[in-house]
Chains A and B, each alone.
Chain A
Amino acid sequence: MEKFTLTLKSVPAESLRTALCGVVSSGNLEVLVEHHGVEDACEIEVSTSAHGFRDIWEAVLNDFAREHKAGGLRLSINDAGATPAVVSLRLSQAFEIAGAP
């Protein structure tokens, strides 16, 4: 199990609803979206069963924070070996659900 937390600059979010997306099963992950204090930063906590992919995680999460208005959100990710494709999809899905009108 590898654990790390990133705090990334991001444009303040328009909606701050709580959302949960995905499941912790092989090749999949769950992500919990919650509100946190800092308006122009997104805090992302990753627990992953796969070792040695921190640089890819950082690339995926940096792109996410840059491309989405995720400031003021805390994302908690429980990963069971998802590919970057699945990570990006789950983050987008969670974000779309959290921001859905």
Chain B
Amino acid sequence: MSSHDHLASSRAERLKRAAGISSNRLVATEHAVQLLEAVIEPGDRVCIEGNNQKQADFLARCIAQTDPSRVRGLHLVQSVLALPEHIDLIERGQVERIDFSFSGPQAGRLARLVENKKITIGAIHTYLELFARYFVDLTPRIALIAAQAADREGNLYTGPNTEDTPAIVEATAFKGGIVIAQVNEIVDRLPRVDIPADWVNFFIKAPTPHYIEPLFTRDPALISEIQVLMGMIAIKGLYAEYGIKRLNHGIGFDTAAIELLLPTYAAELGLRGKICTHWALNPHPTLIPAIESGFVKSVHCFGSEVGMERYTSARPDIFFVGADGSMRSNRAFSQAAGHYACDLFIGSTLQIDLDGNSSTATLDRIAGFGGAPNMGADARGRRHASPAWLRAGREAQHGAGMPRGKKLVVQIVETFREHMQPTFVERLDAWELSRTANMELPPVMIYGDDLTHVITEEGIANLLLCRSPDEREQAIRGVAGYTPVGMARDARMVENLRDRGIIRRAEDLGIRKRDATRDLLAARSIKDLVRISGGLYDPPAQFRNW
């Protein structure tokens, strides 16, 4: 007779083994390693929570101290491999396979492990794609998560940094898995319940609060005049033209410049209320001036940002805030919002090829994607219209065929990066990386057929209006400046594209370059942001220089 409750009985077995360590759900900090050894079985799929923001760092340290003869053959299924302990666990031989999204600071170590065949990469996903697989074929058996606080029963409060937790816990708890939470504190009464206690098997007070990276803080002092110029081009030549109201921004200085130009340059152009009203965006400190000047109506966040807690709490009309008064973020929902409900994605990249494919991969690093490709891709399942979406669709279809809209996907880059590295290249490094790392696909961040516009200091190339692959290539070369790709342009064809408005230079848009100064930024320092927030923004120490 076949059994239908293998997962449930396996969970019961594991919980029985842990019974000696904890009689209720609370586990003493010093017994954390022992608990992991009791409940983890060889070959388990394990998720150690973490993304580009918060990290279950204590549990990561604990799993990297478990006995490799007991805890082995693991399949890691998690957003990031960002902590040294994640890689330590692989180096200790306890992991066979990894499926992930992003490896940021550990990208170099990971590349060497792959090269030495110490680990197999299943695939590098986008965040939403990995969450989706949690509910299909990569459901975790063990989830090690991070929360701000637990009550005595094990209900969890995640505070503003809820992030990936609901997606991970839901998949694990309802498919026979075991959820273990590290918490910063244990309290009698939580401000609100983000994860109910009966989805949580164990909770442990971590010796130190979980780590959160302030990844979205861009110091306005470091924004260059070139970035101001490109921001002016984006606002006047793109946001105003299409009437972009719903959007997502990348995390670079180029888009931070746009945020800081909204209350000044965009307001002078009469665009308040006409552009940039609804966002899927982390609480970027550089958005504070636009919020305070009434430009922004709504922001849903993937996660929070260190220092923005009091500010977001005090702006419940803008942010999603609980009855307790603190913000709630949710990465899966915000990714879906960015994909389906936004008309525009704009971000930066390291390399763009002649087809418009872009990548942040370089030869000795396997960095992965994170969330950008979910936003930077046309939402083929979208069925609701908006003026911006319809106009992009008309431009793409040349007025023929079934009417359909298109997401605006924009790369904003300087033609040269640091050390005179050209951003525009004949061939992406991603090809070589896919060969050396034995990957099935070159790691492309944004595919060329999703890309609609390229903005550089040389102007805008509107790829939607190109009528042949040749025109598309020349449109890209035409804004590639003095890079080898740009110098090899067909000058006559580029002039023709300019006459047709496919390439538009600053002067074609009526933008005077002498106006492109830092004086145009609504804030020119972190201190300005604090002042404009009315003292509600509390920047982390590394951004305080006064």
Measured between beta carbons, the chain A residues less than 8 angstroms from B229 are 89
Cα–Cα distance between A86 and B420 once the two chains are bound (Å)? 12
Given A60-B482, A88-B457, A89-B225, does the pair A83, B416 have CB atoms closer than 8 Å? Answer: yes
Which residue on chain B has the smallest CB distance to residue A96?
B514
Apart from A59-B482, A83-B226, A85-B415, 12 more pairs, CB < 8 Å: A53-B420, A56-B482, A59-B487, A85-B414, A86-B225, A89-B225, A89-B457, A89-B516, A92-B513, A93-B514, A96-B514, A100-B514
Choose from B415, B457, B513 the contact partner of A96 (Cβ within 8 Å): B513
Cα–Cα distance between A97 and B517 once the two chains are bound (Å)? 13
From 486 to 522 in chain B, residues with beta carbon under 8 angstroms from any chain A beta carbon are 487, 512-514, 516
> Would you mind naming 24 contact pairs between A and B with Cβ atoms under 8 Å apart?
A50-B420, A59-B482, A83-B416, A83-B420, A84-B415, A84-B481, A84-B482, A85-B226, A85-B414, A85-B456, A85-B481, A86-B226, A88-B457, A88-B481, A89-B225, A89-B226, A89-B457, A89-B513, A89-B516, A92-B514, A93-B513, A93-B514, A96-B514, A100-B514
Which residue on chain B has the smallest CB distance to residue A58?
B482
Measured between beta carbons, the chain B residues less than 8 angstroms from A53 are 420
Expressed in whole angstroms, the minimum distance between the Cβ of A50 and any Cβ of chain B is 8
Cα–Cα distance between A50 and B456 once the two chains are bound (Å)? 23
- Give me the interface of A with B, judged by CB distance under 8 Å: 50, 53, 56, 59-60, 83-86, 88-89, 92-93, 96-97, 100
Expressed in whole angstroms, the minimum distance between the Cβ of A72 and any Cβ of chain B is 21
From 203 to 245 in chain B, residues with beta carbon under 8 angstroms from any chain A beta carbon are 224-226, 229
Which residue on chain A has the smallest CB distance to residue B416?
A83
* Best-buried of A53, A85, A92, A100 by chain B (most CB within 10 Å): A85
A84 touches B416 (CB 8 A): yes
Which residue on chain A has the smallest CB distance to residue B225?
A89
Measured between beta carbons, the chain A residues less than 8 angstroms from B481 are 84-85, 88
Measured between beta carbons, the chain A residues less than 8 angstroms from B225 are 86, 89
Given A59-B487, A83-B416, does the pair A97, B514 have CB atoms closer than 8 Å? Answer: yes
A85 touches B420 (CB 8 A): no
Cα–Cα distance between A96 and B511 once the two chains are bound (Å)? 12
Expressed in whole angstroms, the minimum distance between the Cβ of A71 and any Cβ of chain B is 20
Which residue on chain B has the smallest CB distance to residue A55?
B487
Which residue on chain B has the smallest CB distance to residue A81?
B420
Cα–Cα distance between A74 and B236 once the two chains are bound (Å)? 34
Cα–Cα distance between A88 and B415 once the two chains are bound (Å)? 12
Measured between beta carbons, the chain B residues less than 8 angstroms from A92 are 513-514
From 458 to 495 in chain B, residues with beta carbon under 8 angstroms from any chain A beta carbon are 481-482, 487
Measured between beta carbons, the chain B residues less than 8 angstroms from A86 are 224-226
Choose from B457, B487, B514 the contact partner of A85 (Cβ within 8 Å): B457
Measured between beta carbons, the chain B residues less than 8 angstroms from A93 are 513-514, 516
Measured between beta carbons, the chain B residues less than 8 angstroms from A84 are 415-416, 481-482
Which residue on chain B has the smallest CB distance to residue A67?
B507
Expressed in whole angstroms, the minimum distance between the Cβ of A97 and any Cβ of chain B is 6
* Best-buried of A50, A56, A100 by chain B (most CB within 10 Å): A56
From 396 to 450 in chain B, residues with beta carbon under 8 angstroms from any chain A beta carbon are 414-416, 420
Measured between beta carbons, the chain B residues less than 8 angstroms from A60 are 482
* Best-buried of A86, A89, A93, A97 by chain B (most CB within 10 Å): A89
Measured between beta carbons, the chain A residues less than 8 angstroms from B512 are 96
Measured between beta carbons, the chain A residues less than 8 angstroms from B513 are 89, 92-93, 96
Which residue on chain B has the smallest CB distance to residue A63?
B482
* Best-buried of A50, A60, A84, A100 by chain B (most CB within 10 Å): A84
Expressed in whole angstroms, the minimum distance between the Cβ of B490 and any Cβ of chain A is 16
Measured between beta carbons, the chain A residues less than 8 angstroms from B514 are 92-93, 96-97, 100
Measured between beta carbons, the chain B residues less than 8 angstroms from A56 are 482
Expressed in whole angstroms, the minimum distance between the Cβ of A2 and any Cβ of chain B is 14
Cα–Cα distance between A57 and B121 once the two chains are bound (Å)? 45
Which residue on chain A has the smallest CB distance to residue B505?
A67
Expressed in whole angstroms, the minimum distance between the Cβ of A99 and any Cβ of chain B is 10
Cα–Cα distance between A84 and B482 once the two chains are bound (Å)? 7
A83 touches B414 (CB 8 A): yes
Expressed in whole angstroms, the minimum distance between the Cβ of A76 and any Cβ of chain B is 19
Cα–Cα distance between A3 and B456 once the two chains are bound (Å)? 29
Cα–Cα distance between A97 and B457 once the two chains are bound (Å)? 20
Which residue on chain B has the smallest CB distance to residue A100?
B514
Measured between beta carbons, the chain B residues less than 8 angstroms from A89 are 225-226, 229, 457, 513, 516
Measured between beta carbons, the chain B residues less than 8 angstroms from A50 are 420
Measured between beta carbons, the chain A residues less than 8 angstroms from B224 are 86
Nearest 10 CB-CB pairings of A with B:
A85-B457, A92-B513, A96-B514, A84-B482, A83-B416, A93-B514, A85-B226, A56-B482, A59-B482, A85-B414
* Best-buried of B456, B457, B482 by chain A (most CB within 10 Å): B482
Measured between beta carbons, the chain A residues less than 8 angstroms from B516 are 89, 93
From 92 to 146 in chain B, residues with beta carbon under 8 angstroms from any chain A beta carbon are none
Expressed in whole angstroms, the minimum distance between the Cβ of B413 and any Cβ of chain A is 10
Cα–Cα distance between A56 and B513 once the two chains are bound (Å)? 21
Cα–Cα distance between A86 and B416 once the two chains are bound (Å)? 10
Expressed in whole angstroms, the minimum distance between the Cβ of A89 and any Cβ of chain B is 6
Which residue on chain B has the smallest CB distance to residue A92?
B513
Which residue on chain B has the smallest CB distance to residue A91?
B513
Expressed in whole angstroms, the minimum distance between the Cβ of B342 and any Cβ of chain A is 29
Measured between beta carbons, the chain B residues less than 8 angstroms from A88 are 457, 481
Measured between beta carbons, the chain A residues less than 8 angstroms from B415 are 83-85
Expressed in whole angstroms, the minimum distance between the Cβ of A81 and any Cβ of chain B is 8
Which residue on chain A has the smallest CB distance to residue B419?
A81
Measured between beta carbons, the chain A residues less than 8 angstroms from B414 are 83, 85
Cα–Cα distance between A86 and B415 once the two chains are bound (Å)? 11
Measured between beta carbons, the chain A residues less than 8 angstroms from B487 are 59
Cα–Cα distance between A60 and B483 once the two chains are bound (Å)? 11
* Best-buried of A83, A88, A93 by chain B (most CB within 10 Å): A83
